Amino acid sequence: MKTTMKKRFVIASALCLLALLGNACGGSGSSGDSAGSDSSTTSTAPGAGTSIVNVWVGPPADTTKLPIGTSKVTLTGPTADGLYACDGGLPNGGGAHAAGPWLDEAAGTWDLSKKISVEGDVAWPMASYSEVIDGDTRLVTSNGLPVDEHTGTFPIASNDPAYAYDRNPNRIASNDVKVSLSMTPTTAAAPKCLGKGRIGIMKNGVSMFAPLDERNRDAVAYETQDSCDGHPQQSSVYHYHDVPSCLRNAAMGPSTVVGFAYDGFPIVVERNAAGELPTNADLDACHGRSSPIELDGKVVDSYHYSATYEFPYFVGCFTGTPIS
C-alpha cells in the first residue's frame, strides 16, 4: 500500500511540474493569452490543460535605458517602434513641467528603476466593472475607478517629491464608461490613428489613453503617475498610458488578457518561460500580433496588442476600426 501511494505521489508531482509550464497547476496567470510571429505556440482544447509557450526573437528590454518615445510619434501612418497619432499635440499643453532625473534627454533614454511615483494610498471600494456577452457584442461598463487597486493622492501635493516635476492639479472622480465592442473584431483596410481620449478599457475598470501627453511627448517617460501608473486628467478621468505595473506584475502566466482596445482586440500581458515580456521586435507596427490566446475560457486564434516596457508600451495604432 505504501509503495503504491508513493508511486502515485511521484507521478502526480511529475505531471504538476509539466503543467506549470502551461500555467495549469495552480499558476498565477489567470486568463491566458499567447504568442505569435517569430514565436512558437502550442495549445490544447479548453479544459484539457492549455499550454501556451512564447519564444521571443531577442533579449529582454533594458529597463534602465528605455528609449524616450517622443521622436517616434508620427502623423502620417504607423512605423516600427512608433505611434500613429491623430494630431500634432499642443505646444503649451499640460504634462510634466520639468524632466525628472530618470530621464537622459541627451541620450534619448529613461530609467524605469529611478522614476518616482506620486505619493498616497487611496482605496476605492465603490469601484465597479462588468462584462456581458450578448451575441457578437461585449458590453463593458465601469465607473472608471480601479477595482481592487489603490491610487495615489491627487492633486499632487506641494510637499510630494513628484511635485518638482509634475504638478497635476486634477482630482479623481467616477466617470461612467459604457462601450459595446465586437466579439469578432476585424482588421481595417488601413490602420487608424490614436486620439487623446479613451482608446481602451482595462479589466479593472480604468480607461486607457494613448502613451502621449498633450504635447505629444512620451507620457510614460515624462509624467509622474502613482504606484499603479495611473493619474487623472482635467475631467477627473483616472487613466493609464501603458499596461500598469500593478496589473502587469500580477500577470505572471504565459499570457493574460488585461483589457480591450476600442477596436475590440484584446490587450495582453505575454511572457516566455523565463517570465520576460516581448519587445518591439516581436510585434507589428501597431504593437500587436496574431496567435492563439485564451479568451473567455476558450483558446482562439486572435490578433491582440501586447504589453512591453518599450514605447509605445501597449498600442501604436488601431489595427481594427475603433468605436466612435
Query: Per residue in 314-323, pLDDT tens?
Result: 999 999 999 9
Same domain for 9 and 47, yes or no, is no
Indicate the number of domains in the chain.
Answer: 2
What distance in Å separates the CA atoms of residue 1 and residue 11, rounded to the nearest whole number?
Answer: 16
Same structural domain for residues 87 and 130? yes
Same domain, 86 and 14: no
What pLDDT does residue 189 have? 95
Let me know whether 9 and 135 are in one domain: no
* pLDDT, position 36: 32
Instruction: Tell me: pLDDT of 8 over 90.
Output: no
Whether residue 20 sits in one domain with residue 53 = no
pLDDT of residue 292: 81
The tens digit of pLDDT for each residue in 102-152 reads 999 999 999 999 999 999 999 999 999 999 999 999 999 999 999 999 999
Do 18 and 113 belong together in one domain? no
Q: Where are the beta strands (DSSP E) in 29-127?
A: 66-67, 73-74, 83-84, 103-104, 109-110
109 shares its domain with 153: yes
Q: What is the pLDDT of residues 208-219, one digit of tens each?
A: 999 999 999 999
Q: Is the Cβ–Cβ distance between 49 and 22 less than 8 Å? A: yes
All cell numbers assigned to 218: 512620451
Work out the number of other CB atoms within 10 angstroms of the CB of residue 109. 16
Q: Are residues 90 and 184 in the same domain?
A: yes
pLDDT at position 33 over 70: no
| Chain centroid to CA 311 | 12
Q: Which three cell numbers stand for residue 19?
A: 503543467
pLDDT of residue 50: 56
If asked whether residues 18 and 101 sit together in one domain, one would say no
End-to-end CA distance of the chain: 67
User: Do residues 13 and 114 both lie within one domain?
Assistant: no
Query: What is the arithmetic mean of pLDDT over 266-287?
Result: 96
Range of 64's domain?
A: 31-320
pLDDT mean across residues, the chain: 87
Does one domain contain both 164 and 308?
Answer: yes
Q: Does residue 204 share a domain with residue 258?
A: yes
